[in-house]
Structure 1
C-alpha cells in the first residue's frame, strides 16, 4: 500500500515542511511516479518504529542505556 504526501502527513500528524525535511534527510523513504510522490506503508511503519524506540530510550534512566 502507498500513501500520498497529504495522507502520510495525516498518518504522522505532521506538516508539509516537516515531511519534506524527513524525505530530504533520508529519515523517511518515498518514491515518485511521474510528478507524484508516495510513501509506502512499510516506510511509514519503519519511521514510526524508529521514533518509538528513540522515545523509549530517552525515557530510560542514564544507567540503563
Structure 2
C-alpha cells in the first residue's frame, strides 16, 4: 500500500502541521496528554497521536463553551 500521508513528525514538524507552539507541545508531552517517542536523539510524534491530542483539545474546548 502506498500513501503520501506522513506517519510521524519531529516537534518542529508537528508545530508546522498543527499551528500549536513548541512550548504547548512539549508541555503536553511532559504532562502525558501527547504521546511521543525517541528516534536516536530526535523526539518524534506520530500523526495518530497528534490527531488524538487535537480531538481531545476540541472536546475540552467544547465542554468549556457549553
TM-score normalised by the shorter chain: which range applies? Answer: 0.7 to 0.9
Number of equivalences: 60
Q: How does 1:1-65 map to 2 (within 5 A)?
A: 1-60=7-66
Give distance in 1, aligned partners of 2:41 and 2:50.
Answer: 20
Identify unmatched segments of 5+ residues in structure 1. 61-65
Q: Distance in 2 between matches of 1:51 and 1:45?
A: 10
CA-CA distance at 1:22 after TM superposition = 1.1
Aligned-partner Cα distance in 2 for 1:15–1:52: 16
Name structure 2 gaps, 5 residues minimum: 1-6
- Kindly name which structure, 1 or 2, has the bigger radius of gyration based on alpha carbons: 1
TM-score, normalising length from structure 2?
A: 0.81
TM-score, structure 1 as length reference: 0.82
| Structure that is richer in helix per residue | 1
